[in-house]
Homo-oligomer: A and B are copies of this chain.
């Protein structure tokens, strides 16, 4: 593991590190905020999965999350959204390939050698974090934005017991039924749609649900709302009688001005579960 930068931030440390990922077979970069309390022992960890085109850096600099994580004594990890580098496949479109990993393990060419973001965020990076930093592996929660909200919800529902709580900002809720999803799931996983199901938050909600609290915020003026399909997840939550808070926030769009506006709420929500 290599330290790229470490900056004092809210009396903790905002670090950026890179490491050779066994899952992705390339070097991966991530951001990690450790609150002051991590000097004295392991702290809870909140995962933040980012959206299309993002790297480890966007949320780390624009979401205003460190202020609230420092208040709550919680670490934040900001993984990248895909494998990267000269030997890694890519596509000219912004929504496929590098910057658009969709948190799946690709089985199709040319993606399968490196695009294993599911394993990366569920196994590879967690192992690295608990080995190298003062992180309590028994206290983890997960959130994300857009494609990252999709990742957070699907990981949480597919890995029962791993995360104490899950939240999402304007998540892609039904990728098997929208242009943000069908294209990518087909490219990464092939045309057998049964392989797609575990990667659809609305389908997973119908099938499995989540054994913990859920918080979802989407802007009522989100310019991508037709691609996100929040109505499918809302209906699935209601049909399952899943305990959850699902909010349409009046006037907000898809930007980090929206994400930062509700970051305090989300971190307080996770803190309640993480410190219970």
Q: Does A260 contact B (CB under 8 A)?
A: yes
Q: Mark A52-69, 1 if CB is under 8 A from B, else 0.
A: 000000000110101100
- Residue in B14, B62, B67 whose CB lies within 8 Å of A67: B67
Q: Does A9 contact B (CB under 8 A)?
A: yes
Give A8 to B253 CA distance when docked, in angstroms. Answer: 7
The reply to whether B61 and A9 contact each other, CB–CB distance below 8 Å, is: no
CB within 8 Å for A66 and B260 given contacts A8-B252, A253-B7? yes
**Chain B positions within 8 Å of A66 at CB level:** 257, 260-261
CB within 8 Å for A9 and B258 given contacts A61-B62, A62-B62? yes
**Chain B positions within 8 Å of A257 at CB level:** 7-9, 14, 66
- Interface size for A (C-beta < 8 A) is 23
**Chain B positions within 8 Å of A8 at CB level:** 219, 221, 251-253, 257-258, 261
**Chain B positions within 8 Å of A253 at CB level:** 7-8
Give A122 to B181 CA distance when docked, in angstroms. Answer: 51
Q: Mark A243-254, 1 if CB is under 8 A from B, else 0.
A: 000000001110
The dominant DSSP class at the A interface is mixed
Q: Does A211 contact B (CB under 8 A)?
A: no
Q: Does A255 contact B (CB under 8 A)?
A: yes
Q: Does A17 contact B (CB under 8 A)?
A: no
Q: Does A226 contact B (CB under 8 A)?
A: no
The reply to whether A11 and B62 contact each other, CB–CB distance below 8 Å, is: no
Q: Does A119 contact B (CB under 8 A)?
A: no
**Chain B positions within 8 Å of A264 at CB level:** 67
Q: Mark A37-65, 1 if CB is under 8 A from B, else 0.
A: 00000000000000000000000011010
Q: Does A269 contact B (CB under 8 A)?
A: no
- Residue in B7, B252, B260 whose CB lies within 8 Å of A64: B260
**Chain B positions within 8 Å of A256 at CB level:** 61
Give A7 to B257 CA distance when docked, in angstroms. Answer: 7
Residue of B nearest to A250 (CB): B8
Which residues in A have some Cβ–Cβ distance to B below 8 Å? Answer: 7-11, 14, 61-62, 64, 66-67, 219, 221, 251-253, 255-258, 260-261, 264
